[in-house]
Structure 1
Amino acid sequence: MGERSLISVAIIGGGPGGLGTAIALAQIPFLNVTLYEKNPEPRETGAGISLGANAWKVLDLLGASQGVKGGSKSNTHQRNAYNGKVLNVVEHPETSDAESRGSIRARRTRLQSALLARVPEGIIQFNRKLVHLEDLTDSGVRLVFQDQTEVVADLVVGADGIHSGVRKYLFPEHKLRFTGNTAWRVLIPNSRLTDIPEITTTTAWWWGESGHVYFSDVDEEYEQSDPLFEITIRSYNEPEIPGKTVGWGIPATNKRVFARVKEFDRRIRDAVNLVGEGEWWEFAGFAGPRLDKIIGWNKIALIGDASHPLSGAFGSGATFAMEDGWILARALEYTQFLFHPIQDALEIFDKIRTPYYNKIYEHLDESQEKMQQFRAQNKEFDAILQAKIDLMLYGDKDFIYKNDISKTWKEYFQDEKRQHRP
């Protein structure tokens, strides 16, 4: 057999999903991988990110877990936002090797840096904003960037987030909608909050009728002299303002943020008042219908939020995206000597990941339906709040938070061997 020609891969987007995919694909000798990032330098907008057993498992596979540290979520409280009453405490019991590290809340920049450190030199090109995709039928995909540079790639990976430009070319009829759900996020030194100990001693969700507040450490307790602390405020019924409702990170004034918590417990208001002007960032939530397929043109794969626009419904989007990239790498290894290696690998990728995302959508739909039924029968806020917490905490979500992506691949591989056994 002759020497195999290199397959060129263009990854669009340098978030955790794109970086994780670059790491996984760069380890495969017959792939020539380039990641195109629209920003002029590495950038991760946001505040904290939650990482649990599913995240540790894929980060281990990518060799990036050692670089990620954060605040423990082992003692998580659910509270009434109006009076501070503790409604539930979760201790997060852990058992396996991955789970023994526990669930943490880390700075998003920590995850970004850990992944960046594992991407081989020369793979990332910054200042490359995608503006056009074209299917060249038998000769790959033509990509055009804002600076007028062009490349042709055999395989394109859309890792460009919920507002994915790659998805818009692949599925132009697919439309996002503003959910009315808007979040304001900030990281501030823990020392600012020392006079409000009930805020800083636990990870906590403080629930209101039209929004909630989330408090969490994002640094290990003794990691530095003044660790950072996250405050996230979320409002459920914001109006859409054409031209001003922006999906991912715009500055917000203290006045705008405080208006969302003015009826909440004094401790919440005090904490919010300790944030300096210009420190808040606003994020509007968008979502879209599930996709029947997350591949297209026989040469494009969508990963992460590009493939399942759920607006962070389960707080595990970065992990989903890294899992996608790792599975895509395994599929390409598996099909490398077949007649249509890219097409066959994409079919495998879709066969494994689309049903997984469908299950996530179904879980979300079922939870929303149960909540709507409960609201129709009960008018008391305390009862509605308790039902909401119970659904969030005790629904069967192990398939998400304890997912073992390497086991998923092994099971697929074993099924294939059984089906083709003479």
Structure 2
Amino acid sequence: MSTEPNHANVLRIAIIGGGPAGLGAAIALSALPNVRITLYEKARELREVGAGISIGYNCWKVLELLGAAEDVRGHLQQNVLYRNGLSGEIKRVKPAPSSVPLKYRSRRVKRTRLQAALISKVPPGIIQLNKKLVSIHDAGTQGVHLTFEDGAKTTADLVVGGDGIRSVIRTSLFPEHITKFTGTTIWRTLIPAKSLSHIHDLFPDTSWWHGPSGHCYFSLVDDPSEFLDSSTSSSSEQMIEVSCRYLIDPALDTEKRFSWGVPATNERVNVHFTQYDRRVRDALSRVPEGGWKEFSAFSGPRLERLVGWGKVVLLGDASHPLSGAFGSGAAFALEDGWILARAIELVTSRASSTFSDSDHDRQVIKARNIADALEIFNDIRSPYYRRMYEHLDSQKAKVSRAQTEAKSQSSDPTYIFESVLASRLEAFPVGDELSWIYKNDIAIIWQQYLRSKREARTAARI
């Protein structure tokens, strides 16, 4: 961050958070002229917590724009199987989309792979570690004052909140917005695929095994060609992700909950899946003690706006605390950062002809440009997230109706479970039902925005 008094010609940007949202924003914004960017991450080292992450068409498209796509490799997902987790019966199959070019098809990737690819594209000197943000303060035309836990203070013209689902930035902007534990606990691990090779039907297809109160998920996360030994034609070092979810009524929960990964014992995990198909139980028993990390899912209501003070913007999970509802959070976060950069680029290019010898005037003009750019960002991204919330509300209502109807027809737990499962599985698209998410091309969205503004200006002149 610049501490020089004459900074009127430089856009000082503070990015909070070193996840996909923060890293993507750092890459996109650093390509703009006359910017000075610092990314503040509270951890002592940049390390991804979790196991695997899905990279689909929408994410590949924005990774290409950021120049990071080539460094992201993982397991090419073919068929995705949705099973009754108790009986093992296949209830639904999502085939690989033949209409999508191979390089844009969905892959399951180690989170560390994506993080490393993004970090490699962030210019040197931008990332500062062990910087936990404590508070931000609106300083008027001076920008935003930031205070960190170690006592350090700085000032930025623009603050980018990429600090996750329990965002300090969001709390500062919207203190009335509260996130709560959803009732879902997630346990994740990565183990060698060879340790589960004796169990039929766990891979190579990705599979979801649904139970009455959650599910277990199995997917390879590596490109096998990276481990192929020409002498044995085996890929014994390939890893498989195991992810299990268990749902309770959050109103009855009394435990202390953590949204980040904390160690969990095998007993704590396995006790929730004792009724599952023997293949699932066998797989869970093969996880080495100490291998599980536990995450508690938090979510919150939709924000009416993703920007505040005319100089602060929320990206990724900070802007739409949905707790991974669509399995495409990395894409959303990266799209946010890229759109923010385009909005700033557009506004500053329009204002490039404005000139003043006064530092004060230039600072005022810069502040106005930032506010205008943030409104563009909000106009594009806020309706997108509103549509997601509306879809989730619709799906939740369908499942609730199915459960009520099933209970009115029978008291048999098996009948009720299978009726509700059928409704739940409808939320998993097998075609183009959610193409506005999974086949989103953020570059086309930006061009559509520019075209709509040109058409509006033309209409206004007629």
Bin the TM-score by the shorter chain.
over 0.9
The residue matched to 1:275 in structure 2 has which SS?
A: coil
1:389 to 417, 425, 438: 425
Question: What is the rounded CA distance, in whole Å, between the counterparts of 2:424 and 2:376 in structure 1?
Answer: 37
Where do 5+ consecutive residues of structure 1 fail to align? none
Q: Judge conservation of contact 2:300–2:322 (CA < 8 Å) in 1.
A: yes
Q: Judge conservation of contact 1:94–1:100 (CA < 8 Å) in 2.
A: no
Equivalences, count: 419
Is structure 2 residue 459 aligned with structure 1 residue 416?
Answer: no
Q: Which residue matches 2:386?
A: 358
5 Å-filtered alignment, 1:20-419, equals 20-97=24-101, 100-224=103-227, 225=235, 226-237=237-248, 244-336=256-348, 337-338=350-351, 339=365, 340-379=368-407, 380=415, 381-394=417-430, 396-419=433-456
Identify which range, 37-46 or 221-230, moves more after superposition: 221-230
Question: What is the rounded CA distance, in whole Å, between the counterparts of 1:72 and 1:331 in structure 2?
Answer: 34
Residue identity opposite 2:37 in structure 1: V
Question: What is the rounded CA distance, in whole Å, between the counterparts of 1:174 and 1:322 in structure 2?
Answer: 23
Q: Say if 1:299 and 1:94 are closer, same or farther in 2 by CA, change over 3 A.
A: farther
Question: What is the rounded CA distance, in whole Å, between the counterparts of 2:375 and 2:61 in structure 1?
Answer: 24
Residue identity opposite 1:47 in structure 2: A
Question: What is the rounded CA distance, in whole Å, between the counterparts of 1:221 and 1:92 in structure 2?
Answer: 18
Shift of 1:386: 2.0
Shift of 1:90: 1.3
Q: Judge conservation of contact 1:203–1:215 (CA < 8 Å) in 2.
A: yes
Question: What is the rounded CA distance, in whole Å, between the counterparts of 2:261 and 2:286 in structure 1?
Answer: 21
The residue matched to 1:49 in structure 2 has which SS?
A: strand
Q: How large is the Cα RMSD of the aligned pairs?
A: 1.6
Shift of 1:132: 1.1
Q: Say if 1:347 and 1:353 are closer, same or farther in 2 by CA, change over 3 A.
A: same
Identify which range, 219-228 or 20-29, moves more after superposition: 219-228
Question: What is the rounded CA distance, in whole Å, between the counterparts of 2:97 and 2:205 in structure 1?
Answer: 16
Residue identity opposite 2:244 in structure 1: I
Shift of 1:100: 4.3
Q: Judge conservation of contact 1:78–1:207 (CA < 8 Å) in 2.
A: yes
Q: Over residues 280-308 of structure 1, what are the superposed CA-to-partner deviations in whole Å (9 max), with x where a residue is unaligned?
A: 00000111000000000110000000000
Greater Rg over alpha carbons, structure: 2
Q: Which residue matches 1:15?
A: 19
Identity rate of aligned residues, in percent? Answer: 48
Question: What is the rounded CA distance, in whole Å, between the counterparts of 1:94 and 1:4 in structure 2?
Answer: 52
Shift of 1:96: 4.4
* Runs of 4+ deviating beyond 3 Å: 238-243
Shift of 1:377: 1.4
The residue matched to 1:112 in structure 2 has which SS?
A: helix
Q: Judge conservation of contact 1:196–1:267 (CA < 8 Å) in 2.
A: yes
Identify which range, 284-293 or 100-109, moves more after superposition: 100-109
Question: What is the rounded CA distance, in whole Å, between the counterparts of 1:419 and 1:94 in structure 2?
Answer: 38
Shift of 1:202: 1.4
Q: Which residue matches 2:4?
A: none
Identify which range, 244-253 or 294-303, moves more after superposition: 244-253
Q: Over residues 331-367 of structure 1, what are the superposed CA-to-partner deviations in whole Å (9 max), with x where a residue is unaligned?
A: 0001114441100000000000000000010011111
Residue identity opposite 1:166 in structure 2: I
Residue identity opposite 2:246 in structure 1: S
Shift of 1:420: 1.9
Question: What is the rounded CA distance, in whole Å, between the counterparts of 1:96 and 1:194 in structure 2?
Answer: 30
Q: Judge conservation of contact 1:44–1:112 (CA < 8 Å) in 2.
A: yes
The residue matched to 1:205 in structure 2 has which SS?
A: strand
Question: What is the rounded CA distance, in whole Å, between the counterparts of 2:427 and 2:71 in structure 1?
Answer: 33
Q: Over residues 206-258 of structure 1, what are the superposed CA-to-partner deviations in whole Å (9 max), with x where a residue is unaligned?
A: 00011100000000123224111000010011657667211111110110000
Q: Judge conservation of contact 1:4–1:30 (CA < 8 Å) in 2.
A: no
Residue identity opposite 2:136 in structure 1: L
Shift of 1:30: 1.7
Q: Judge conservation of contact 1:94–1:102 (CA < 8 Å) in 2.
A: no
Shift of 1:390: 2.3
Question: What is the rounded CA distance, in whole Å, between the counterparts of 1:270 and 1:255 in structure 2?
Answer: 14
Question: What is the rounded CA distance, in whole Å, between the counterparts of 1:412 and 1:185 in structure 2?
Answer: 39
Q: Over residues 131-164 of structure 1, what are the superposed CA-to-partner deviations in whole Å (9 max), with x where a residue is unaligned?
A: 1111101110011111111110000000000000
Q: Judge conservation of contact 1:182–1:238 (CA < 8 Å) in 2.
A: no
Q: TM-score, normalised by structure 1?
A: 0.96
The residue matched to 1:420 in structure 2 has which SS?
A: helix
Residue identity opposite 2:23 in structure 1: L
Question: What is the rounded CA distance, in whole Å, between the counterparts of 2:249 and 2:110 in structure 1?
Answer: 26
Identify which range, 175-184 or 366-375, moves more after superposition: 366-375
Identify which range, 117-126 or 88-97, moves more after superposition: 88-97
Question: What is the rounded CA distance, in whole Å, between the counterparts of 1:220 and 1:317 in structure 2?
Answer: 22
Residue identity opposite 2:446 in structure 1: W
Q: Over residues 377-411 of structure 1, what are the superposed CA-to-partner deviations in whole Å (9 max), with x where a residue is unaligned?
A: 12422232122212322582111100110011001
Where do 5+ consecutive residues of structure 2 fail to align? 1-6, 228-234, 352-364, 408-414
Question: What is the rounded CA distance, in whole Å, between the counterparts of 1:55 and 1:243 in structure 2?
Answer: 35
